[in-house]
């Protein structure tokens, strides 16, 4: 039975091979606009990445030259916007080059769709283009978490159940079984550990290289960070 | 480390959103061996008391190793986040929550039976915070930082029976043999060594010796010392660049050797002058000890460049 459960965990992990969350649709952006946009969201934040062509900028605040960037909820979105739009610091109020905008939000449990309107006015040294309103829309899936444990046991099951109850879509696997493809297919990878002295270390030092963000937990977390050769664990004396 | 943390910046997103982590800080007298020291979260020292936050209901039944970052081993890595220190019997500066690029370290159990409610809330926030870091660039570890040598000057010094292995064994063991000859193995000797050599130490360069126990061995840069240019300061880099493009002299040769030694091969100029190179790279580069003592592309700049490339 224990072997079957282990197989099932590994199967569940490898069966999920679709990529991490997809970008939202952005509409009403003119083909010749001097900037590009990419938007993504999870249940906590809407993230809008902008890249302005050389010489062009937008405004972080009203400096008398043009309307500042704003993002507001639109359409049937049930989201509540929390706090101010977070954008890079800018001494003169201008945003140029690469710019990340982050809007914290709160969604009701049942909500799975988000629509927003991005008001933006862009200028270069000679002119400002007419203000634009871009429509951003997309489905919000639950964030996909891959839980990696040393073995399948009651502890690992409790952690998986905890994360599931917190609204994450959780797949599980073990250190000896995890692959880079499985990690890459998840939004975040949680590498768990029981207490020092009660964990199995098989496969930890061989953990695959992945582009996914990793949360390394406890004792195995330190082993993992060292094994990955990250500048984070030096300094033991 | 036990089940508690301190030094939390409760305004950071991992404590705020989407859950408000409501830790009840227990004001506690700070340990005597923390006195007189600083850390990334306590740049001015701890004070007589500090607030302890419980991440687990009970103290773990076994030792709980954590990351050691005395005096901030990694503060020269742009974007590195020190988010909590563990309650450590060893010293101030033991990280229990930290992020470097795509990697987050959580130094406590995530077994829901052990976690307190604010720890659960924080962990949920961490997962959302890390979801944002998919394109964040990490930097690789090559060598211990020069901060180790500062630690040797105080670790165990005030004990009734001072801890001597640091100054008698570990410090000289971390040096190349030639530099070892200039060191007197005592606390006073460590003070004198740090005062004279710390700004000029380096390790981890191709061809430098490595010790099985201590890893890459440290040398002191005679060129940088002669120029009075600490190897990790931007003013030093700018001086080397100016000298490198100047008239031929011994200082120019020293500066060129410094540039070759510390400018990462990935960004070293292939054509043009050093001044032109610096104008192009000035806003992109930083100096990091632990990657091998390099002027290199700032990982936060690399992150922005990667994100911009995804937008195109």
pLDDT band with cut points at 50, 70 and 90 for residue B225 = very high
Q: State the Rg of chain A over Cα.
A: 22
- Helix, coil or strand: residue A149: strand
Average pLDDT for residues B53-61, to the nearest whole number? 92
Q: A17: buried, middle or exposed (CB in 10 Å: 19+, 13-18, 0-12)?
A: exposed
Q: State the Rg of chain B over Cα.
A: 22
Cα B26 → chain centroid = 29
Cα B197 → chain centroid = 18
Q: Is the pLDDT of residue B60 over 90?
A: no
CA gap A131, A65 in Å, rounded = 12
Q: Which of B9, B39, B7 has the alpha carbon at shortest distance from B21?
A: B9
Res B70: pLDDT: 66
CA gap A100, A83 in Å, rounded = 16
Q: Which of B148, B312, B28, B67 has the alpha carbon at shortest distance from A49?
A: B312
CA distance B244 to chain A (A): 31
Which residues in chain B are closer than 8 Å to A168, comparing Cβ atoms? 127
Q: Which of B96, B65, B62, B101 has the alpha carbon at shortest distance from B80?
A: B101
Q: Which of B71, B79, B73, B69 has the alpha carbon at shortest distance from B103?
A: B79
Which residues in chain A are closer than 8 Å to B102, comparing Cβ atoms? 211-214
pLDDT band with cut points at 50, 70 and 90 for residue A33 = very high
Residue-wise pLDDT for A129-140, tens only, equals: 999 999 999 999
Residue B251: count of CB within 10 angstroms of its CB = 17
Q: Is the ipTM of this complex over 0.90?
A: yes
Q: Which of A45, A164, A217, A235 is best to mutate for the B interface (most B CBs within 10 A)? A: A235
Do residues A208 and A179 touch, judged by C-beta distance below 8 A? yes
Q: Which domains does chain A have, with CATH numbers?
A: 2-17+142-227 (3.40.50), 22-139 (2.60.40.1250)
Q: Write out the H or E segment, with its range, that includes residue B180.
A: helix B177-180
CA distance B255 to chain A (A): 28
Q: Is the pLDDT of residue A12 over 50?
A: no
What percentage of chain A exceeds 70 in pLDDT? 88
Res A200: pLDDT: 85
CB contact under 8 A, B131 and A187: yes
Q: Is the pLDDT of residue A17 over 50?
A: no
CB contact under 8 A, B107 and A236: no
């Amino acid at each position: 039975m224990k072997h079957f459960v282990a197989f099932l965990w590994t199967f569940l992990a490898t069966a999920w091979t679709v990529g991490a969350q997809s970008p939202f649709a952005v509409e009403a952006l003119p083909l010749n606009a001097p900037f590009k946009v990419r938007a993504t969201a999870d249940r906590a934040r809407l993230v809008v990445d902008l890249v302005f062509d050389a010489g062009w900028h937008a405004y972080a605040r009203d400096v008398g030259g043009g309307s500042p960037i704003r993002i507001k909820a639109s359409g049937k979105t049930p989201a509540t916007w929390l706090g101010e739009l977070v954008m890079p610091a800018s001494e003169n109020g201008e945003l140029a080059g690469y710019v990340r905008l982050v809007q914290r939000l709160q969604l009701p449990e049942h909500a799975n769709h988000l629509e927003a309107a991005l008001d933006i006015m862009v200028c270069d040294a000679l002119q400002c283009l007419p203000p634009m309103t871009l429509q951003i829309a997309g489905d919000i899936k639950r964030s996909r978490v891959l839980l990696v444990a040393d073995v399948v046991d009651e502890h690992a099951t409790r952690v998986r159940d905890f994360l599931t109850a917190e609204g994450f879509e959780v797949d599980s696997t073990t250190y000896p079984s995890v692959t880079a493809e499985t990690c890459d297919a998840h939004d975040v990878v949680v590498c768990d550990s029981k207490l020092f002295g009660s964990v199995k270390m098989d496969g930890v030092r061989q953990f695959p290289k992945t582009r996914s963000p990793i949360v390394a937990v406890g004792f195995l977390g330190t082993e993992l960070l060292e094994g990955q050769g990250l500048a984070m664990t030096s300094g033991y004396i | 480390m036990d089940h508690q943390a301190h030094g939390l910046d409760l305004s950071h997103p991992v404590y705020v959103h989407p859950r408000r982590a409501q830790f009840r800080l227990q004001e506690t007298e700070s340990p005597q061996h923390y006195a007189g020291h600083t850390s990334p979260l306590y740049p001015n020292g701890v004070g007589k008391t500090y607030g302890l936050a419980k991440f687990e209901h009970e103290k773990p039944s076994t030792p709980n190793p954590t990351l050691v970052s005395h005096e901030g081993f990694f503060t020269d890595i742009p974007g590195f986040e020190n988010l909590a220190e563990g309650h450590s019997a060893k010293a101030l500066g033991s990280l229990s929550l930290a992020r470097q690029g795509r990697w987050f370290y959580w130094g406590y159990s995530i077994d829901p039976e052990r976690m307190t409610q604010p720890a659960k809330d924080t962990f949920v926030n961490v997962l959302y915070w890390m979801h944002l870091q998919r394109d964040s660039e990490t930097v690789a570890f090559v060598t211990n930082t020069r901060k180790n040598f500062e630690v040797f000057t105080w670790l165990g010094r005030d004990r009734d029976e001072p801890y001597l292995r640091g100054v008698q064994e570990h410090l000289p063991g971390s040096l190349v043999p030639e530099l070892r000859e200039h060191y007197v193995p005592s606390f006073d000797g460590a003070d004198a060594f740090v005062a004279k050599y710390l700004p000029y130490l380096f390790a981890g360069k191709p061809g430098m010796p490595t010790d099985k126990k201590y890893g890459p061995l440290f040398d002191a840069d005679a060129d940088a010392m002669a120029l009075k240019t600490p190897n990790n300061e931007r003013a030093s880099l700018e001086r080397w660049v100016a000298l490198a493009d100047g008239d031929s002299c011994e200082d120019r040769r020293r500066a060129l050797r410094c540039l070759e030694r510390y400018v990462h091969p990935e960004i070293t100029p292939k054509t043009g002058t050093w001044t032109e190179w610096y104008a192009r790279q000035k806003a992109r580069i930083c100096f990091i000890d632990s990657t091998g003592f390099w002027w290199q592309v700032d990982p936060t700049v690399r992150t922005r460049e990667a994100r911009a490339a995804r937008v195109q």
